Structure 1
Amino acid sequence: MAEKDTPMTDAGGTQTLDGEAQAWLMRLTSGDATAADAQALKAWCGRSPAHARAFAEANLLWDRLEKVARLPAVAPGAGRVASHRGLPSRRWFLGGAIAASVAGAGYLVARPPMDLWPSPQEFAADYRTRTAERREIAMGDGVTVELNTRSSLNVSPKTTERQIELIAGEAAISVSPRQIGALTVRAAGGLVHATDAQFNLRCDAGRSVVTCHRGTLAVDYAGRTVDLGAGRQLAYADGVVGAPVPVDPAVVMAWRDGQLVFRQMPLAEVVDEVNRYRNGRIVLMNEALGRRPVDARIPIDRVDDLIALVREAYGAKVTSLPGAIVVLS
């Protein structure tokens, strides 16, 4: 019997296709989505044209919200310890399965609206953290990596030079003198080389930011090599390497202690940072408000404290929507 384009009924009562489509988006944005979820979504969209259309329309709502939300901007718990393991076959298999699901569904694009769920490359990574999760990876030979929230990392097979790739997100990396050979970290087309150093690497939307906490780094990008010493930071993107600037590494790496520290940072940038640590999205609708400087220290396990801060300190209007969407205006 052909399936009718009518609401489905379960133990919880009647639910429209639109509601089911929104529930799929909520699952994808929960931080717990898996490759099995991608396959299940493909099957759900294939049940009828109405199912596929409902998901497409729900996805369009996110797209429209993203366009409205974009403003000009410049840039919980203890971690789990895991041993180094190389999984190239699993990575390629899983990546292929998700990519096939993406293509089959037709609407689950590789770059999701507002980055609300991981890309296929992130799903297939050797290591990946979910929302508000931190994970420590003991690689051996004096190398440790701590992944921040919503981050993904690949580890290359051991050679004369250990290599890892930060696909997306943020990592604090420590290389001790005990390590045999240099460590090379790939990120967004660049290479960071370290032999005895501690540093923070952030990679978002093709832009990488390297902060040296201890020792000296060599950063290769677009045919240039730049040395980076302790207490200095540089960014690279679009074929351009920025000049090193002084920073306080303790502020940059405060996430390792479960804190977000902001010093005279525009509110728009603060909102972008906080969004990395929560499900859903905080959407800033007021461009003038987004330029207001913020000095704050916010615990990662209470990032929604920012919402109350903006309402009380700046008189912003707060509108809460389904799916942990909060609009500030």
Structure 2
Amino acid sequence: MSRAAEIEKRATLYLMRRDEPDWSPDDQAALDGWLSESMAHRAAFLRLQHVWDRADRIAALGDQSTRAKLRRGPGTSLKIIALAATLCGLAYLGVFLIRSSDITDRFLQRFEMLAQSEYETPVGGQRTVAMADGSTAELNTATRLRTAVGEDRREVWLDYGEAFFEVTPDPSVPFVVHAGDRTITVLGTSFSVRVDGEEVSVSVLEGRVRLDAAELPAGPSPRSAPTLSGGELAVARGAETLIATDAVDRVDRALAWRHGMVSFQQATLAEVAEEFNRYNTRQIVVDDPAVAAMRIGGNFRPTNSDAFLRLLQRAYGLQVMIEDERVIISQ
């Protein structure tokens, strides 16, 4: 089982356990401790809690006989089945549901709203995803995106990597992006979201978005959420959010990947190397602090690191040594 699957399994168990009447302060303390260990724990729990809460509404759509047939034992309900659908895929659950002939069309349609699609790109890869509402997402290198988009729900989860969204306007159904410990809410706009570990970056090309901090169970009320407009960007980490206004050039550079490029203006060589490493399995290593602090500017194709390395040799007189899957840059 992958680490992500193990985290989701643990989050699911906590949600199921918390729904029992004998949930105790010690249980809550154990949950709080687990949530504090990792942002991945918090993101998984919040995502599944959202599905868990929505499943209450879905359960209400079936009649009493339907719910009775789907109840399989103590503590098991449509809520758990709905959550299982999200974790295991709608196809598996569909086999079970079809056997219950009295499931109404309306129930199936509403249940389908919980189905999620998952998209990934490899290192150096890109792809465009079209969603049911007409919105699109362009996925950059090494990215995973999950979507749950339909007539009355538009939510996506950027687990890692970077994606550019063009959102079809629909004031009645906000488009919500969950990224790390942040939630970005829009009505119709074009913007990019990037997740680097515990740092979330948002670059707005046009329109407006709201950047919220995700709430933890029993946590404090969030502070007023900042709103970003076209030509603005934000970098959020933990409790801090830095916003740059009048940053059209920086937004353009942040979105250069959509045209197969990366763009830098007076970035350190360490920063440039880190960006190239997102697109290549062969990693650039800069151990010398003086070399790492050198300033670089220009536009480059991130998947053609050889051309960039030749530039470092010819224009900056640096040494390039290749060792297996590493490229070491030195004076």
CA distance in 1, matches of 2:289, 2:329: 11
Secondary structure of 1:133 counterpart: coil
Secondary structure of 2:279 counterpart: coil
TM-score, structure 2 normalization: 0.60
Query: Which residue number in structure 2 is paired with residue 258 of structure 1?
Result: 260
- The answer to whether structure 1 residue 135 and structure 2 residue 137 are counterparts is no
1:85-105 C-alpha deviation (Å, 9 max, x unpaired):
xx98697459xxxxxxxxxxx
Instruction: Give, in angstroms, the shift of residue 250 of structure 1.
Output: 2.2
Secondary structure of 1:250 counterpart: helix
Secondary structure of 1:279 counterpart: coil
Query: Which residue number in structure 2 is paired with residue 240 of structure 1?
Result: 240
Cα root mean square deviation, aligned: 2.6
Stretch deviating more after TM superposition (202-211 or 219-228) = 219-228
As a proportion of its length, which structure holds more helix? 2
Identity of aligned residues (%): 27
* Counterpart residue identity of residue 281, structure 2: N
Instruction: Give, in angstroms, the shift of residue 203 of structure 1.
Output: 0.4
* Counterpart residue identity of residue 290, structure 1: A
Instruction: Give, in angstroms, the shift of residue 245 of structure 1.
Output: 3.6
Give ranges in structure 1 of 5+ residues lacking alignment: 1-33, 36-86, 95-123
1:82-135 C-alpha deviation (Å, 9 max, x unpaired):
xxxxx98697459xxxxxxxxxxxxxxxxxxxxxxxxxxxxx981110011111
Asked if the contact 1:125/1:152 (under 8 Å) is kept, the reply is no
Query: Which residue number in structure 2 is paired with residue 6 of structure 1?
Result: none
Instruction: Give, in angstroms, the shift of residue 178 of structure 1.
Output: 5.3
As a proportion of its length, which structure holds more strand? 1
Query: Which residue number in structure 2 is paired with residue 286 of structure 1?
Result: 288
* Counterpart residue identity of residue 256, structure 1: R
Residue 271 of structure 1 is aligned with which of 264, 270, 273?
273
Instruction: Give, in angstroms, the shift of residue 200 of structure 1.
Output: 0.8
CA distance in 2, matches of 1:291, 1:125: 42
- CA separation of 1:157 and 1:308: change in aligned 2, threshold 3 A: same
* Counterpart residue identity of residue 150, structure 1: A
CA distance in 1, matches of 2:83, 2:129: 17
- The answer to whether structure 1 residue 182 and structure 2 residue 174 are counterparts is yes
- The answer to whether structure 1 residue 326 and structure 2 residue 327 are counterparts is yes
- CA separation of 1:270 and 1:239: change in aligned 2, threshold 3 A: same
CA distance in 2, matches of 1:180, 1:138: 20
CA distance in 2, matches of 1:151, 1:179: 28
Query: Which residue number in structure 2 is paired with residue 217 of structure 1?
Result: 209
Secondary structure of 2:311 counterpart: helix
- The answer to whether structure 1 residue 198 and structure 2 residue 190 are counterparts is yes
* Counterpart residue identity of residue 216, structure 1: R
Asked if the contact 2:300/2:308 (under 8 Å) is kept, the reply is yes
CA distance in 2, matches of 1:255, 1:88: 36
CA distance in 2, matches of 1:146, 1:313: 34
CA distance in 1, matches of 2:317, 2:84: 53
Asked if the contact 1:191/1:221 (under 8 Å) is kept, the reply is yes
Instruction: Give, in angstroms, the shift of residue 154 of structure 1.
Output: 1.4
- CA separation of 1:304 and 1:246: change in aligned 2, threshold 3 A: farther
Instruction: Give, in angstroms, the shift of residue 312 of structure 1.
Output: 1.9
Please identify the structure whose Cα radius of gyration is greater.
2
> Greater relative contact order (Cα 8 A, min sep 6): structure 1 or 2?
1
Asked if the contact 1:199/1:213 (under 8 Å) is kept, the reply is yes
* Counterpart residue identity of residue 174, structure 2: A
Asked if the contact 1:216/1:229 (under 8 Å) is kept, the reply is yes
1:119-174 C-alpha deviation (Å, 9 max, x unpaired):
xxxxx981110011111110032311010000111123647331101011100001
Aligned length, in residue pairs? 215
Secondary structure of 1:164 counterpart: strand
CA distance in 2, matches of 1:303, 1:129: 19
Instruction: Give, in angstroms, the shift of residue 266 of structure 1.
Output: 1.1
- CA separation of 1:191 and 1:299: change in aligned 2, threshold 3 A: same
Asked if the contact 2:276/2:303 (under 8 Å) is kept, the reply is no
CA distance in 1, matches of 2:84, 2:147: 12
